Structure 1
């Protein structure tokens, strides 16, 4: 390192930096110029820096790049190497940097694997793998299912393909072929090979020189016409501004992924300055070179604060100027590595921040090359792709704000496709095409007499046919939905007499013999057929089911009214009626005369009150608010229960009860009943394996024959008792006779699984295995075969009963707390200290059975006795002393809600001669009487109750 003296007597350290560029390529020349401009502008604005980068350029021609790099490290002692190092050239240089601990900075090497090889390699450009998500998003947006990558046979081309393949697989698109081009002479041969394939979506990942040759040849042989899709990566789109316009015109309709650089003020100013000094068009590689040089200058200044620059020489003998063993190790290589990793600033190409030795993924612009006679050549932006939001029409769209990831083509602008004249988005190429013209797909169809709804073949004059039906419409819809065009023709499987030429097995086997390319019809996927042909996914439910007649088994017995509810619901309801009666008695009998009296009377009243809620005919007035709470909830439950019972009983008495005449196959075999199957169907083999004799198996050919066979069934075994057929035929039959027949389990499977599984599940083996591990099959009623309602069970109402029970116990608990709190003195005084537990319980029961004289209901009844002159000492309206003593203990107010109707009582008290003589006595009514007076009244009341 050299030192220079400045005007301020300050020492400036010159740090050697190697610059490896290809002078023959625009990227190299532009990069070197941008590096020099960057350092000039940087140090001009930061004259106080103590370091200056001293550039040592070297030409990176492929034959001398290794020697040039070794010379920079060994002889020049470069502390870092920066340049337009390609992915292929970087392999050797990366090893040199790792050995000497010298950072290698490339603004053009995009191979994803380079950072893995060395921690001293810094990619001041984008990783090529970061654009594969943008490509796969476009493939998904337009529904292309296949894509062929075209790439060069080098590190740059091969490094991207694994990432691209994985990204395409994530969007359900696969790579049927990989086109590798070693040199330009191979381009024509490879493109002609691609023309013979079905895929029409091509992803080009080459450098600009080879890419232009590919498009020139593609235009020449007709691969830039309608139906083709070309997508190019940013290795070529970033250089479009420097490619000859005549070459770009051959790329009309091409889509490209281009690195997006915001047009900031700094970028605009630098472009103006560049155009003043150079004739070439500035591209993103120049901006990356500018930012890389600036970052290196910042890092070197940071390292210079803590140490000197230089190399530690290797301890070896001899003079081996290019031997790796003779290289020294940079003193500050690790510090410079760390400083570069920490540099962060707003660069010309965007945010500059190294993450694990490379720039973070940025936004890509999706461009469309348009060449028309009106506007000439135009590179038009049709959208953007960001790692967080996916496809977007512009970077200020609502989707960007909402952070939603999108792969919708609606987020892209109109696109001009190859061979088209007007830009459009909706009618995009399908991406797939049969390359050989004039050859149609031969599709075999069955010919049969019955069930023409599936396939109906009509023979017309001049050897023409008209094929229609459900299966045919499905096939046509599928062909129309495919992302490519398929020419096909239907060929009936018939003999010279226009009759069926064999069974369905024979028809399927024709595909194996290559007489047909495909077969369409009511063809079932079976194990034996899958041995020699492949099946698509089934578009109807597969399997064989049994169909039987149904008969009305309506409820006509005298006890049908019990059926709406199950026995457990009946019992639970009855118990809750008794329980609610008990709760009402507990809460009411101390304060309500209607719930008092002899024990039998109390039991009868409580039960009558509870059960009368069924018809809402309860007339006993309840007084306690807790009782009202319980009764309100209980009445709601009773309302739901009665309404549900009424609805279920109505259904049982009015709706027709249709039930199958036969419920399982064993019943048919045991009774020796006849069964039917469709002619030429494989179901015959299933019936034989189930144990039916040939005499029991009957054949039918159409829906009408099947219906007639059921109608002719008698005890003499004429007709059939059940029919076995594939699920689609059964459903068709039930559509015409929905109220007369029913499907019965089990289903004999014929799904398209592996051959081994098919062989197992088509017979009874699967049922045996299920019975072994899961137990015998329970007979669960099929909801589709019974239109009547099942009995209502406790499981539908236990929640309501739970609410009633909890609320009842809650009210009972509150009542108990109030009782024990109010009567604790009476219970304590009435129970000796040495009394047993049973004696204490008896005392509590006796106290609980007494009237609650503090209740306003008994105050009213006592007052009524006074008004009527009843009771001892009540003559001439004189209030008995004990009554006066008790009543005066309670405040009496006309405004009280409890006594608003008892104003006459106040008048009687005040009208006595004693009260009139002393006005001051009025105030004594609010004073509490002596405790002995209240106790005497209570004792007298208790004695009256016991005597009654």
Structure 2
């Protein structure tokens, strides 16, 4: 960065005063070069020398944040502006008012990276960064921006600036053990080149991985060239957008010629964005100097001549303070874009998204504060085709099985309801296992599995289902497969799949047949009124027929007692069509036909009702609602080790009235013996119970909806 920027600074000074618009300027900038490299102590020593011996009105160029930290203190003490186009501010602008950063705000870069992550629906990211002052503010900004788009950062990978090859290999090995395959990288060029070379050797530049480089690392391709391109194939990088103009082309040609002349053997085709920032910084200083007017060295005599260090003997400069004020007000269109300082740094605008393909840096899209990620700068459009590591055009899913990793599957252990999950001869079986393995077998890649029961040495469960779920959070298991209900409090620690079965909570109660069968049961099909009505019609029909027939039909004549008996007998005999009397009159025949039709209906209805009473049980639940249970202070059963005690307490059931049960057999025994009045449990369990004991029990009451059963893991897997 130093050599590239120095060449740009020299060209900027030449171009500014060669410009006809500046021919009448009365001020001139004079450069005093101090080459300190990246050493912070050397930079601080050079700063003291420039202030004390040269009496400069501005210092340009601390490259690193560590250097900027020292020089910012010198600027505060002397009122001399410290201007950097590459280093981050060592603290907030209010604490270092004389440190001016003529580069974009890194927080906007963090927002652009977060938008890129959100665009591809990646749910977890690992920042990989150099552990120095340059990332002190950027990484928290990045994590905050990712949190805004619901992306989790579970691990921050720090690399020491002086890390050896062994240290880098160890770091890469730790990254390989993570599920996350999306990495955001920000480190120095030298460290990054070695890091990516080793990552490629370890197979982490293949399919499935995502590498996003933040600026300033993205300009490694401009600085290092082919060696960096060879080991960073498929990398996505962000860099500030710079409009391609005729002036920029001319500057690039002159810069390349001058740079290669001053640095033979080093190939660089164009100046980096930092170089353009350096170019615009010199123009801004020249404009500010002219606006501030001619100034000479006005460092007054030290008021602390008895100080023990040169730092104590540095005095303030009012001319430099005036120059700072003018610089903050300068605005113009520079090579890097609009030069405008706000909050002690350049106003950020748009970012370019590049993709490394072969030896080319392909622009695949842009990020703007208003439109976010887009394939075009002016209109909303899809990103261009991105070739990810491994020459892959399919968007990576954001996670990979760690190399040589076997999924540790936790399985609940319980004495009952083994239709859902159970261990048999050391192997898990049941509905939950069948569904899980069907999904695994449908995947296009192999997933090594190892089932582990959630049990102690005696084979008993080690705790509740909440304990089992929390064991995933503690990384004892990678996944839990079983009849695990999706609950809000569990989702705070782990993630669930979509439910593979519906669920809810209902009440199971015994049923009883309330009708008693006695010798008089045959009377039950008809009510008393209907019995009396039928008897009256019997007599009435017989009387009507006798009245019509007895004048002309000798069968209806005889002694009075015989005729009275005939009136009653005739109607009853028609029930079985056993009457012997002949009917001669048509009116009598009509009456008898109507009566026979009524008798037929009455007989069939009575037979059907009596059969129902004698053969079909009319079962009624012993309890119909939960309020009745609470009012009677009845005992309530529930499935042991489940979440139901919390729900029952919320339903205002006394804790002393709830009894844990383990199996369908215990359910049946408790309800039959009266130990509990009802059982409250999830519907899948109750259905399994009713499949075995359907004749004596039923589900009643409202359904308390739940999300159903799901499989458990951490957020990176599901």
TM-score (norm: length of structure 1):
0.51
Kept after mapping to 1: 8 A contact 2:333/2:339? yes
Q: Which residue does the alignment assign to 1:545?
A: 507
Kept after mapping to 2: 8 A contact 1:676/1:698? no
Q: 1:119 to 1:288 in 2, by over 3 A?
A: same
SS of aligned partner of 2:103: coil
Deviation at 1:245, TM superposition (A): 0.7
Q: Which residue does the alignment assign to 1:346?
A: 333
* Higher-RCO chain (CA-CA 8 Å, sequence separation at least 6): 2
> After superposition, where does 1:896-907 map in structure 2 within 5 Å?
none
Q: Which residue does the alignment assign to 2:217?
A: 236
Q: Which residue does the alignment assign to 1:333?
A: 320
Q: Distance in 1 between matches of 2:464 and 2:241?
A: 61
Q: Which residue does the alignment assign to 1:887?
A: none
Which of residues 6, 16, 28 in structure 2 aligns to 1:39?
16
Kept after mapping to 2: 8 A contact 1:368/1:415? yes
Q: 1:91 to 1:478 in 2, by over 3 A?
A: farther
Q: Which residue does the alignment assign to 1:165?
A: 143
2:476 aligned with 1:520: no
Aligned pairs, how many? 575
Q: Which residue does the alignment assign to 1:268?
A: 249
Kept after mapping to 2: 8 A contact 1:150/1:181? no
Kept after mapping to 2: 8 A contact 1:300/1:336? yes
Deviation at 1:348, TM superposition (A): 0.9
Deviation at 1:693, TM superposition (A): 11
CA deviations 1:130-174 (Å, max 9, x no partner) are 311122223333333433333223222434222222223333311
> After superposition, where does 1:637-652 map in structure 2 within 5 Å?
none
Deviation at 1:370, TM superposition (A): 1.7
Q: Distance in 1 between matches of 2:643 and 2:223?
A: 70
CA deviations 1:266-318 (Å, max 9, x no partner) are 222322333454434322122111211111111111111xx744314134475
Q: Distance in 1 between matches of 2:54 and 2:638?
A: 94
Q: Which residue does the alignment assign to 1:416?
A: 387
Q: Distance in 2 between matches of 1:209 and 1:693?
A: 67
Q: 1:56 to 1:449 in 2, by over 3 A?
A: closer
CA deviations 1:31-85 (Å, max 9, x no partner) are 433333343334x432112222222222234353223222222232222222353
2:164 aligned with 1:207: no
Q: Distance in 2 between matches of 1:669 and 1:119?
A: 70
Q: Which residue does the alignment assign to 2:263?
A: none
> After superposition, where does 1:85-484 map in structure 2 within 5 Å?
85-111=63-89, 113=91, 115-170=93-148, 171-185=150-164, 186-279=167-260, 280-281=268-269, 282-304=271-293, 308-316=295-303, 323-371=310-358, 377-398=359-380, 411-418=382-389, 420-422=390-392, 424-426=393-395, 428-437=396-405, 439-444=406-411, 452=419, 454=420, 467=429, 469=431, 473=435
Q: 1:157 to 1:395 in 2, by over 3 A?
A: same
Larger Cα Rg: Structure 1 or Structure 2?
Answer: 1
Deviation at 1:504, TM superposition (A): 9.9
Kept after mapping to 2: 8 A contact 1:310/1:331? no
SS of aligned partner of 2:28: strand
Kept after mapping to 2: 8 A contact 1:414/1:425? no
Q: 1:268 to 1:451 in 2, by over 3 A?
A: same
SS of aligned partner of 1:202: strand
Deviation at 1:234, TM superposition (A): 0.9
Kept after mapping to 1: 8 A contact 2:124/2:398? no
Deviation at 1:343, TM superposition (A): 0.9
Deviation at 1:189, TM superposition (A): 3.4
Deviation at 1:726, TM superposition (A): 2.6
Deviation at 1:664, TM superposition (A): 3.8
> After superposition, where does 1:715-754 map in structure 2 within 5 Å?
724-730=680-686, 743-744=700-701
Q: Which residue does the alignment assign to 2:594?
A: none
Q: 1:449 to 1:104 in 2, by over 3 A?
A: closer
Kept after mapping to 1: 8 A contact 2:131/2:158? no
Which segments of 5 or more consecutive residues in structure 2 lack a partner in the other structure? 261-267, 515-618, 710-718
Q: 1:394 to 1:735 in 2, by over 3 A?
A: farther
Which segments of 5 or more consecutive residues in structure 1 lack a partner in the other structure? 1-21, 372-376, 400-410, 495-499, 553-657, 753-948
Kept after mapping to 2: 8 A contact 1:34/1:287? no
TM-score (norm: length of structure 2):
0.66
CA RMSD of aligned residues (A): 5.2
Deviation at 1:353, TM superposition (A): 0.2
Q: Distance in 1 between matches of 2:441 and 2:95?
A: 49
Q: Which residue does the alignment assign to 2:517?
A: none
Q: Distance in 2 between matches of 1:342 and 1:166?
A: 31
Q: 1:447 to 1:91 in 2, by over 3 A?
A: closer
